[in-house]
Amino acid sequence: MVTLWAFLSQVLSEDGSCREAVSRVIAYCAGHNQKTPSPRTGAYCKARQRLPEGLLERLLDHSATDLEGQARPEDLWHGKQIRVVDGTGISMPDTPENQKEYPQPSSQAPGCGFPILRLIVFFSLVTGALLARAMGPLGDSEMVLFRQLLEHLAPNDLLLGDRYYGNFWVVAALQQRGADVLLRVAASRRSDFRRGQRLGKDDHLIVWKKPSTCPSYLTPEAYAALPQELLLREIRGTIYAKGFKSRSVVLITTLLDPKDYSRQELLELYARRWHCELRLRDVKIGLHMDVLRTQTPKMVRKELLAKLLAYNLIRRLMWEAGVRSGARPLRLSFKGAVQHVRMFAPILAALAPPARQALHDLLLKTLAAESVPERPGRIEPRLKKRRPKSFGWLQKPRALCRRLLRLGRKLK
């Protein structure tokens, strides 16, 4: 438990060093009149390596289930849980072990790039919980990793996804599980609203035929088990939402009844898919997950799981703070919550239970005050004002560059 507590405090820390984690344990032990450990980090690093990866996985799954259990019936969309799928890349230190497990992109010269891990996640649109994840090397396709997550979709769930997922294979796989979809149609598929059964303006029923070629990520048995055709509803409209330019989109869905699910309602729901991008930004930037620090694939996976667990635990606190205060939990500032938890956590750990509860209540009240204002239509230029230093890119292995410098040669 001490190792787990130190590890979680480390991934929440702005510094993120092992030294700071050990210092926090020393302070805790001293405050409780316990024997203090050595300030050296070796014992902590060894204990962290012994921490079972399966334990972190179970805790992450439990935190997601617990947070999802807080959702009220009125929080759901037509009684459905909304899941959002998205993927991202994670960088890590350039060590031989990491390069072997998660090779850098082939377009980069040896010694000049960094290993990359591909991560696919399911988020809850209602609570913001990170529900499931699949990870692998950059060479693994998103579809291979996505299929590992299908078991986390239940009947009556509704999946939102971008145009990468708007294909026959995804829709058929989800229909087999009794789940619904609302996906942007893949760019390679042409839409013709003059065909099919017309339901209204830019709204019709169509039939997708099963492609004759089995994709590489499906076994022949799985391919044969899929239906020969799918009856789907295709809609077109313009989305206006924060994070989007006003754009015309074509969506495909298994929600066929226009009386129960109007075209405009579906477009507005799909616009909320952008919240998944915000949740990914929270965990990648807010918890510094975009660049991991550990040196081996085993510890890379543990560090990643610890950061995802910390994300869910912070979201759980934000949900409780929002419900108590009457604020919308997803409108609270994630970065603000992380900063407050960093400051409150060491004192909470040192207090006796009665005083701890009072401070915990104060923490929730403080989190509820960090509400992010609604700023519809806000536009910011994606440009930097502060000029970067004029260093070039490393285009040769670092050891070779050192030898060239010793010989007095220029690097370019």
How high is the pLDDT of residue 245? 55
Q: Is residue 247 part of a domain?
A: yes
**pLDDT tens track for 323-347:** 999 999 999 999 999 999 999 988 8
Q: Is residue 30 part of a domain?
A: yes
CA atoms within 13 Å, Cβ hemisphere of 382: 1
The count of structural domains within the chain is: 2
CA-wise closest residue to 363 among 331, 328, 326, 325: 325
Q: What is the CA radius of gyration of the chain?
A: 24
Partners of residue 205 on adjacent β-strands: 197, 233
Q: Could you tell me the sign of the dihedral formed by the alpha carbons of 345, 347, 350, 355, in that order?
A: negative
Extract the runs of DSSP E, i.e. beta strands, from 62-179: 82-91, 116-124, 130-137, 158-161
The pTM (predicted TM-score) of the whole model is: 0.90
How high is the pLDDT of residue 373? 79
Q: Look up the domain containing 4 and give its range.
A: 1-51
Q: pLDDT tier at 82 (50, 70, 90 boundaries)?
A: very high
The C-alpha atoms of residue 392 and residue 371 are separated, in whole angstroms, by 41
Query: Which of 229, 259, 289 is the last residue before a domain boundary?
Result: 259
Q: Lowest mean pLDDT of 31-40, 197-206, 313-322, 358-367, name the range.
A: 31-40
Look at strands 247-253 and 180-184 and give their pairing. Answer: antiparallel
% of the chain residues with pLDDT over 70: 97
Q: Is residue 8 part of a domain?
A: yes
How high is the pLDDT of residue 398? 86
Q: Is residue 250 part of a domain?
A: yes
Query: Which of 225, 259, 293 is the last residue before a domain boundary?
Result: 259
- Give the count of beta carbons closer than 10 Å to the beta carbon of residue 119: 21
The C-alpha atoms of residue 299 and residue 318 are separated, in whole angstroms, by 28
Q: Is residue 168 part of a domain?
A: no
Is 60 exceeded by the pLDDT of residue 21? Answer: yes
Q: Is residue 221 part of a domain?
A: yes
Contact 226, 208 (CB under 8 A): no
Q: Is residue 172 part of a domain?
A: no
**pLDDT tens track for 155-196:** 989 999 999 999 999 999 999 999 999 999 988 888 889 899
More confident residue, 298 or 350: 298
Query: Which of 231, 259, 287 is the last residue before a domain boundary?
Result: 259
**pLDDT tens track for 288-319:** 999 999 999 999 999 999 999 999 999 999 99
CA-wise closest residue to 215 among 157, 133, 146: 146
How high is the pLDDT of residue 374? 74
Q: Is residue 295 part of a domain?
A: no
